[in-house]
Amino acid sequence: MKKRISALVICAGIAMQAYAGDLEQERELRIAASIGDVKTITSLLDRGVDVNSANSIGKTPLMLAIESDSLEATAALLSRGADVNATTEAGCTALTFAAENGHNALSAYLLERGADLTTRTRAGWDAMTIAARYGLTDMVEQFLYKGANPNLGDRDGRTALMHAAEKGHAETIELLLKFEADLEKRDKQGSTALIIAADKGHGEATELLLQRGANINADDFDGATALIWAVGQGNLDTAELLLRYGADIDHQDRDGVTALMEAASVRSVELIKLLLENGANQAIRNRKGHTAMDIAKRKRNRKVITLLSDAVSTR
């Protein structure tokens, strides 16, 4: 639960603001909604309180009812005219709140009542992106069957598939691919879902993407492949997986850096061993004219220097 709460900064705002407002009865309505108090909600609405009265950041009673996972309060508010597509200042809606909090039944109910799947938060996240990021596969499936586009990017160009890959949600990835999510779509850095998964060291997600046909040697706008990213982040198991699937071990990025150079830079004996055992060429030079050995010497890593020297002497 803590992870979800930390991510709610997109929509939640300052906690005390949830009940800020001009009229006491409007504050009472929001409080009642936040605790699922249908009796008080009904009483206040009968007295003419605005069902859509929002606080200072635009949170409505309906959004607060969604956050509290109260189907009864949600139904009561919608039956009295609550705007299902109202947005906060951050662009959040009742549906994005349902996704953030993992409330499947409420997201389904909101869709039945006309919730707009295309509305995005200030970060460019629609409800499906949020659900995919949290690995809420059942909810993602709801949205896909209702026509959500799996290939829309957020303000960084990242799709639902990329967000699922970043968090390692293999089941969600599989579902998105079933609905024709684009394996090779790139974000604004040129990264594919495979590069993102490898960077984060998510082996299961990486292998699934490879099995589904992801280009193992796709490179980002800096020329770095999934293997270079995995090695640069010290992700030994993921690097081994990529090599097993045939990753180009000597690919150079725009600066001429190879996976072996990255391994020397991060001072990883295990990665150096892995790459040498798989035939990495340590004679390659980067754009500055440096080899992996030069980098190891600059890092003063005796173990890596010895490994590289021994590899040369045994050839």
> 3-class secondary structure for 81-99?
CCCCCCCCCCCCCHHHHHH
Query: What pLDDT score was predicted for residue 195?
Result: 98
Residues in the chain with pLDDT < 50? 1-10, 12-22
Find the helix or strand (DSSP H, E) in which 130 lies.
Answer: helix 127-133
- The rounded distance, in Å, linking the Cα atoms of 41 and 161 is 39
Distance of CA 153 to the CA centre of its chain: 11
Query: What pLDDT score was predicted for residue 2?
Result: 35
Nearest CA-CA partner of 218 in 252, 184, 173:
184
Query: What pLDDT score was predicted for residue 259?
Result: 98
**Total number of residues shown for the chain:** 315
Instruction: Tell me the helices (H) and strands (E) count for the chain, helix number first.
Output: 19, 0
- The rounded distance, in Å, linking the Cα atoms of 40 and 33 is 9
Q: Provide CB contacts within 8 A for 231, sequence distance 6+.
A: 239, 259, 262, 263, 266, 268, 271, 275
Q: Check if the beta carbon of residue 256 is closer than 8 Å to that of residue 221.
A: no
Query: What pLDDT score was predicted for residue 310?
Result: 82
From start to end of 82-205, where are the E strands?
A: none
**Residue with tokens 């030079």, as numbered in its chain:** 285
β-partners of residue 219 are: 225
Query: What pLDDT score was predicted for residue 302?
Result: 87
3-class state of residue 219 by DSSP: strand
**62, two tokens:** 């309906």
Residue type at position 301: N
First to last CA, the chain: 54
Query: What pLDDT score was predicted for residue 23?
Result: 86
From start to end of 7-129, where are the E strands?
A: none
Query: What pLDDT score was predicted for residue 314?
Result: 60
Q: Check if the beta carbon of residue 96 is closer than 8 Å to that of residue 119.
A: yes
**Residue with tokens 């803590």, as numbered in its chain:** 2
